[in-house]
Amino acid sequence: MWSSQITDPFGPVLDGLATRRKLAISEKLSDLVDDVVNETVETMITNEGIGKPFNPKTYIYMSVFNIIASSAFGKRYSFDDKELKFLEESFEYFRANTNPLFLVDRVPILKPFYANIVNNTLQTVRSLSSSVKQKYLDRLKVHSKGEIHDFCDALIEAKEEAIADEKESASALTDVNLSLVILNLFFAGSDTTQYMMRWIILLMANNIEMQLRMRHEINDIIGDRVADNHHKNDCHYV
């Protein structure tokens, strides 16, 4: 039922390795993460101050969405952006109602008891899909051959090459499928990353020895410099 509407087009649609080769974003992604983290920290200090407890959930969520959106279609959001809030609330609603969806999908006779939840959740997914599809179509209008700025460009380039080379996969590289690939980046990346970060913060908040050990390693290896991707291999404990 609902699972057919949230399909995973990665398998039949793309050669993932080819797409990643087109989008050599390692350095770009590292710079993007630096920018987003700096902006997040500055916003937290401005909004929350220093030395007072607060819930970091929204800040982590916004950071993750900003990194994914920038990588996917080159969009950077301000922390008070309405579209960013729409993404957060939509994914939160979908996550909160996942269990009833799976239950109805496996036991259809229960559908009348969960009709409102199922319909509202599917409408949420359709709204998300429509929003992301529009981003993809907007990029399609201005895409220039050979210019790869983000994942949208990489997908469009892969589609055009498959059509030109008359590859068997070309028939699956529809604009609808490719926009679903972009949507899957959000579904697959937002929860895993933001929950991991929240658990790490919770773990550190309850373990002062861990905090001190991480701080000592950062002081010894990074010092007063800004941490970047190149320090990852040297900061083993962090």
Q: Does residue 3 fall inside a structural domain?
A: no
Shared domain for 211 and 124, answered yes or no, is no
Mapped onto helix, strand or coil, the DSSP state of residue 133 is helix
Q: What is the pLDDT of residues 198-215, one digit of tens each?
A: 999 999 999 999 999 999
Q: How much is the pTM?
A: 0.75
Mapped onto helix, strand or coil, the DSSP state of residue 144 is coil
Shared domain for 228 and 150, answered yes or no, is no
Shared domain for 178 and 212, answered yes or no, is no
Shared domain for 121 and 181, answered yes or no, is yes
Q: At what angle do helices 115-142 and 57-73 cross, to 10 degrees?
A: 40
Distance of CA 93 to the CA centre of its chain: 16
Neighbours of 181 (CB within 10 A): 24
Give the C-alpha separation, 151 to 67, whole Å. Answer: 12
Residue holding tokens 């460009």? 153
**Residues sharing a CB contact under 8 Å with residue 83, sequence separation 6 or more, in sequence order:** 77, 131
Q: What is the pLDDT of residues 36-95, one digit of tens each?
A: 888 899 999 999 999 899 999 889 988 888 888 888 888 888 888 888 888 888 888 888
Shared domain for 101 and 189, answered yes or no, is yes
Question: Mean pLDDT over all residues of the chain?
Answer: 83
Q: Does residue 165 fall inside a structural domain?
A: yes
- CA-CA-CA-CA torsion sign (70, 76, 82, 88): positive
CATH code of the domain covering residue 147: 1.10.630.10
Q: Which two tokens stand for residue 76?
A: 């950077």
Shared domain for 31 and 55, answered yes or no, is yes
